[in-house]
Structure 1
Amino acid sequence: MARGLVAIAREWRRLLPAFAFTAGLLLSSPGAYATPPVDTGESIFRDGIAGDGLPVEATHHQQLAMRGAAAACANCHRRSGLGSKEGNTTIPPIAAQYLFRPSAQSPDELTVPFIDGMRTARQPYTEATLARAIREGIDSEGRPLGYLMPQFALNDADMRALIDYLRTLDRRRAPGVTDTVLHFATIITPDADPVKRRGMLDVLQHYFADKNAAPLGATPALRSSRKMMFMVNRRWELHVWELHGAPDTWDEQLRRYLAQQPVFAVLSGLGGRNWAPVHDFCEREQVPCLFPNVEVPVESEHDSYSMYFSRGVLLEAQLIAQRMREPAGSPTARPVRSVLQLYRAGDSGEAAAQMLATSLRKQGIAVDNRALPPNANVATALHHAPHADALMLWLRPPDLAALGDAPPASTAVYVSGIMGGLDRAPLPAKWRTNARLAYPVDLPQGRRVRVDYAFGWFAIRHIPVVDERVQADTYLACGLLAETLSHMVDAFVRDYLVERIDDMLEHRILTGYYPRLTLAPGQRFASKGGYIVRFAEPDRLRVVADSDWIVP
């Protein structure tokens, strides 16, 4: 509850405009207004920009003014137009079907999908009462709107555009949804690890089989489903979209897959060095992509449909950059002035090395990046490399195991935990004294209680554990989807799926490898930090924290 109150206070300015728009949105009269360009309504709704390119303005009790993005409808009513809930504050849906629908005295009378916050008994808005609501803050029955609702002044053309846009939100059913089936895809790139691929698919296929094991029967009528608010009586069907060839051909392959079988969302998935074409496809087609297993996720401020558990090796680069800038707890306890980075050309470590180098150079730290060709020997490359205060290894387990002689005692060694295998990283014993691992997950003793349920589930179903983190993350993604769908009832809207995950994620108790998962609107990475860890003993793989939890 405390968090809810803080969130409300923090976002109060954002919440006000959306309510004002609720009334103004639908104020229009089909013959009364000129029709501006089609994209004006979307611009007002999502960005708070009017048809003339100027910021939309709103007032509250003639005192508080909001302009532009702060006055966008989507801030409160979300991209779906289906509203949201924070603590005791409920933001109602403003898609046209919810504002214009006839009043209902009981759930049995509803003819639209159930949404938290919908006003079932309120008189429907007319164009006149909506105009009054947006300008004066009076609802369809003559009562004041909620205290968060400001008053807006949109011209007739902008109002017409906004109404037209709201009507586009009245899609009763998303692609990939039938009366009896929910279709989902998982995407696998050609450079994905075949062992991880097998482990991920094992989990997905068994989870879908479990979901479909109970007899479903016929889908209940809409009115009946209102009484069973947490039941979505549909079978889950999984489609495996295997990609082939060069990345510049993946978009065309994905478009063919989607045309052949539309899906409601992409669930999990597995990538190698390059996930960007898949990410871009899902954003363009507005298909939710839920928690794929990728080491180099795509970072973008404006994307909405892709969710990741963490930033992967890019988060590791941030953790290590912070540690090198603040080296009090480092193996040498001395400032780092020079860094040598080793990575395989074209592997995930290349992107992370570039990010780390950019960050360190801004701090005046010299960075020497060494890209190893496919057949190069790591020990030989290190033997001929110049000395540096710190050595950063973006390497896989076979390369770590073949490092050879220990580095000079004065050299701090940092290792990518994700690429190296986390606490199972096979560093030779003589390397472990100086080695520190970037560790963007919870410590083994901390996560045990949260992953034991998943591993017990694997054991009961005889699923071989071939990659603990990938399989635990895949199971977690499936559970998050199932829980979210149970609360969506029949409101199958892709944007609403994303928004419900945003809202529900922080309340999740079983968070797998991660100590905490949260997604505020606009955030796409659910776990924000990590540790720097060290080996407890040179001859054992057990790791312990060498830093507090770091959020870069």
Structure 2
Amino acid sequence: MRALAAALALAAGLTLSAGARRQAPQRSRAQILALGERMYREGILPSGEPLQGVVKGDVPVSGAAFTCRNCHLRSGMGSYEGGVATPPITAAKLFQRQFWQFPSLTEAERIEAGVAQSKLRRPAYTDGTLADAIRTGVDPLGRTLNDVMPRYDLSPADMAILVAYLRTLSAEVSPGVTATTIRFATVLTPDVTAAEEEALRVPLDNFIASHNRLPQGFGNRMYRSASGRDMSLSHRQITLARWRLTGPPATWGAQLEAHQRREPVFALLGGMSHGDWKPIHTFCETRGIPCLFPLTDLPVVSDTDWYTVYFSKGLWQEGEAAARFLAGRPEGADPGRIVQAVADSPRARAAAMGFDLAWQEAGKAPVKTVRLPAGGLQEAALREWAAKGSVAVVLWDGPGAYPALAALAGPQLPVVFMASGLLGPRLGELPEAARASTYVTYPFRAPADEPKFARYANSLLAGLTALDNTERIYTRMYSLVEVLKQALMDMDRSYYRDAFLDALGMQKDRVLPDYERLSFGPGQRYAAKGCYVMQLTPGPQPVLVKRSDWVIH
């Protein structure tokens, strides 16, 4: 703490000359750390100008393009990208000695484990040696660091601000974690049924029970060596609270705050809502609490929010898929003859927003958009669009549109696009006469290919009374568990919320149930990035056939 206080004092201008002090801004601790955070994450100096540095000896770069976060990640846990190993620079790593063997053990733990005399990799950084490394790329032993790391010739005041921030980077274990336990919660909104809750809960409970039994298989043998000691200290028991919300969405934020005050958790796992996930998303952003893979068709779509990782963009993503597919077809060449019909529901509007954005990104002129009446698509409206020469109808409506499609089926019917997320289990009831003209966006793996992947989820189903997977609940919870297990291993003992999200972002692509693949990357918040466009075959037992690749953008 004395070192941090000294760094903060320097950053505040207290060590400048008397004349300079009269003109230097006197900043609070919070202001200094906020400025340091911006330097680290965005590459922006306190003056508002971008940092300037060099790589490869003499290649100038802007700190806004080569931020510290790009390689060391938001938490400072480090990364391995492009064949370059970037070491962790958390406060615990920078400001204590580092050894080649068992680097996770603290000084006290090394003494207890009998490895205090291991070979030193480097001494602890001081404010001065850290400043030298940032400016010149030389570590405390005089060794030159990799030249892909930018060298920044910061002023003393700016350097002091950055160092003060680095002394706080992932310095304190996040709430919800103790020496023995890591606490999670799952959130369920009022529209989730008891059967759906069971399908979500059972796989998580079974994983947690298995995880919590893990140390019993080692017994005291875990403590007989330094490696065993290191391993055992990394392990935490897991608990999972169930936060069931009640009442209207406007009250959910206060309920979540009350839950977190009573029982602080490290992160949220899964959760489910048939409505808008935004109130829970906002709570997580406001409180800095990660949320992994909630089950919702209405996630928040954002390029900047950080704390929630979704399976996909839900219905928004289906709208994107329709736009990109249609843009490449002959009908897409004349936007003036395309009608987008949108039902009066949040789900339909989400698909329309995804369509509009992807259509615009494709460089297309806007299509005509109409709002469907409360009764949904009417035959008269469909006939009117056909009579006016419409070549495609992007129809964001549910199965209630089927009678109108059946009535106009045949040569008169324009090409129609619909979303499987709006049709639900009645997708297969699409009128046979309309199937040749109708394309359906489908964000999951082809049904014929899915059983061989879904069977892996059976390992977590002990105790589940109903095996109905219409909503793909327990299979997606299995995928969550697999991703979570890897993240916990990669975090090791770095129980910081940002490190949890960084560990997720560094995972390799995963082939798991439901989605063709889940792919990750630093800062990416939607793991399933593709969507099929399909059609139903004729006959009383139709099947879906692919009309596009998985990733169509």
Give me the TM-score of the superposition, normalised by structure 1: 0.82
Counterpart position of 1:47: 42
Distance 1:125 1:356, change over 3 A: closer
- Cα distance, 1:53–1:194 mapped onto 2, change above 3 Å: same
C-alpha contact (below 8 Å) 2:75/2:170 kept by paired residues = no
- Please list the CA deviations of residues 160-211 of structure 1 after superposition, one character each: whole Å capped at 9, or x if unmatched: 2212211222434221112232211112233456664443234333433443
Q: Deviations over 1:472-516 (max 9, x none)?
A: 22221122112211232222111111111111142x3x3222222
SS of equivalent residue, structure 2 residue 548: coil
Partner of 1:258 in structure 2? 260
CA contact (8 A) 1:199 1:467 kept: no
Residue number in structure 2 paired with 1:241: 243
What secondary structure, in the 3-state scheme, does the structure 2 residue paired with 1:299 have?
A: coil
1:481 matched to 2:480? The reply is: no
Sort the Cα spacing of 1:335 and 1:43 in 2 relative to 1 into closer, same or farther, 3 A: closer
State the one-letter code of the partner of 2:532. Y
TM-fit CA distance, 1:381: 7.5
Shift of 1:58: 0.8
Q: Secondary structure at the match of 1:433?
A: helix
The answer as to whether partners of 1:533 and 1:544 remain within 8 angstroms in 2 is: yes
Local SS of the residue matching 1:98? helix
Distance 2:200 2:37 in 1: 38
Counterpart contact for 1:313–1:418, Cα < 8 Å: yes
**Corresponding residue for 1:500?**
503
Amino acid in the other structure paired with 2:478: Y
Shift, 1:526, TM fit: 1.3
Partner of 2:355: 356
Secondary structure of the residue aligned to 2:157 is helix
CA 1:108 to 1:528, structure 2 compared with 1: closer, same or farther past 3 Å? closer
Contact 1:319-1:531 within 8 A present in 2 as well: yes
In 2 relative to 1, CA 402–80 (structure 1 residues): closer, same or farther, beyond 3 Å? Answer: same
* Alignment check: 8 A CA contact 1:270 1:292 kept: yes
Measure the CA separation in 2 of the matches of 1:62 and 1:358: 42
Aligned-partner SS, 1:69: coil
Q: 2:77 aligns with which of 56, 79, 82?
A: 82
Deviations 1:405-437 (A, max 9, x none): 343423222221122237954323333232211
Q: Which moved more, 1:333-342 or 1:407-416?
A: 333-342
Task: Name the CA distance, whole Å, in 2 between partners of 1:299 and 1:222.
Answer: 49
Tell me if the contact between 1:339 and 1:366 (Cα under 8 Å) persists in the aligned partners. Answer: yes
Residue type of the alignment partner of 1:518: S
Aligned residue type for 1:173: V
Letter matched to residue 427 of structure 1:
L
Which letter does structure 2 place at the counterpart of 1:326? G
Give 1:281 shift: 1.5
- 1:454 maps to 457
Preserved contact between residue 50 and residue 62 of structure 2 (Cα < 8 Å): yes
Q: 1:40 to 1:222 in 2, by over 3 A?
A: farther
Give the equivalent residue in structure 1 for 2:344.
345
Match of 1:290 in 2: 292
Shift of 1:227: 5.0
The corresponding residue for 2:58 is 63
Q: CA deviation at 1:531?
A: 1.5
Alpha-carbon deviation of 1:229? 4.0
Residue correspondence of structure 1 range 222-233 to structure 2 within 5 A: 227=229, 229=231, 232-233=234-235
Q: Which residue of 2 aligns with 1:5?
A: none
How far does residue 533 in structure 1 lie from its aligned partner after superposition?
0.5
- Is the contact made by 2:379 and 2:408 (CA closer than 8 Å) also made in structure 1? no
Q: Cα distance, 1:232 vs. partner?
A: 4.6
List alignment gaps of at least 5 residues for structure 2.
14-26, 111-118
- Counterpart contact for 1:420–1:426, Cα < 8 Å: no
Q: Aligned residue for 2:174?
A: 174
Q: Show the counterpart of 2:372.
A: 371
**Does the 8 Å CA contact 2:297/2:421 hold for their aligned counterparts?**
yes
> Who is 2:130 aligned against?
130
Distance 1:46 1:70, change over 3 A: same
What are the superposed Cα offsets for residues 217-241 of structure 1, whole Å, 9 maximum, x if unpaired?
A: 9997899566554985332211122
Aligned to 2:542: 541
Taking structure 1 as reference, are residues 312 and 549 closer, same or farther at Cα in structure 2, changes over 3 Å only? Answer: same
Structure 1 range deviating more: 166-175 or 225-234: 225-234
Distance verdict in 2 for CA 1:61–1:472, change over 3 Å: closer
* Residue 92 (structure 2) pairs with residue 97 (structure 1): yes
Distance change (3 Å), C-alpha of 1:193 and 1:356: farther
Q: 1:340 to 1:150 in 2, by over 3 A?
A: closer
Question: Secondary structure, in 3 states, of the residue corresponding to 2:65?
Answer: helix
Deviation digits for residues 107-164 of structure 1 (CA, Å, limit 9, x no counterpart) = 28931799xxxx9621222333333322222110111112222321111222222122
Measured in 2, the distance between the counterparts of 1:381 and 1:221 equals 77
CA distance in 1, matches of 2:206, 2:90: 37
Give the corresponding residue for 2:275. Answer: 273
Change (3 A) 1:434 1:74: same
In structure 2, distance between residues paired with 1:138 and 1:232 = 32
Letter in 2 for 1:48: G
Higher relative contact order (CA 8 A, sep 6+): 1
Give the counterpart letter for 2:479 in structure 1. L
Q: How many Å apart are 1:360 and its aligned residue?
A: 5.3
Matched, 1:313 2:312: no
Paired letter, 1:137: G
| TM-score normalised to structure 2 length | 0.82
**Is the CA contact (8 Å cut-off) linking 1:451 and 1:472 kept in structure 2?**
yes
Seen in structure 2, the aligned counterparts of structure 1 residues 378 and 419 have a Cα distance that, compared at 3 Å, is: same
- Which range moves more in the overlay, 487-496 or 353-362? 353-362
Deviations 1:21-56 (A, max 9, x none): xxxx99x86765544532211111111111111111
The question of whether the paired residues in 2 share the 8 Å contact of 1:339 and 1:365 is answered with no
Bigger CA drift: 388-397 or 410-419? 388-397
Partner SS, residue 79 of structure 1: coil
Larger CA deviation: 469-478 vs 282-291: 469-478
Question: Which deviates more, 468-477 or 202-211?
Answer: 202-211
The letter for the 2-side match of 1:483 is Q
Q: Which has the larger Rg?
A: 2
With 252-261 and 144-153 compared, the bigger mean Cα shift is at 144-153
Q: Which residue of 2 aligns with 1:390?
A: 392
| Alpha carbons of structure 1 residues 535 and 124: separation in structure 2 relative to 1, 3 Å | same
The CA RMSD measured in Å over matched residues stands at 3.5
1-structure distance, mates of 2:102, 2:260: 36
**Offset, 1:341:** 4.5
CA gap 1:368/1:42 in 2 versus in 1, 3 angstroms: closer
Q: What SS is found at the alignment partner of 1:405?
A: helix
Aligned length: 516
Deviation at 1:260, TM superposition (A): 1.2
Question: Is contact 1:107-1:223 (8 Å) kept?
Answer: no
Maintained 8 Å contact 1:231/1:489? no
Report if aligned partners of 1:425, 1:541 keep a CA contact under 8 Å in 2.
yes
Q: Summarize the Cα distance change of 1:405–1:124 in structure 2 as closer, same or farther, 3 Å threshold.
A: closer
**Identity of counterpart residues, as a percentage?**
31
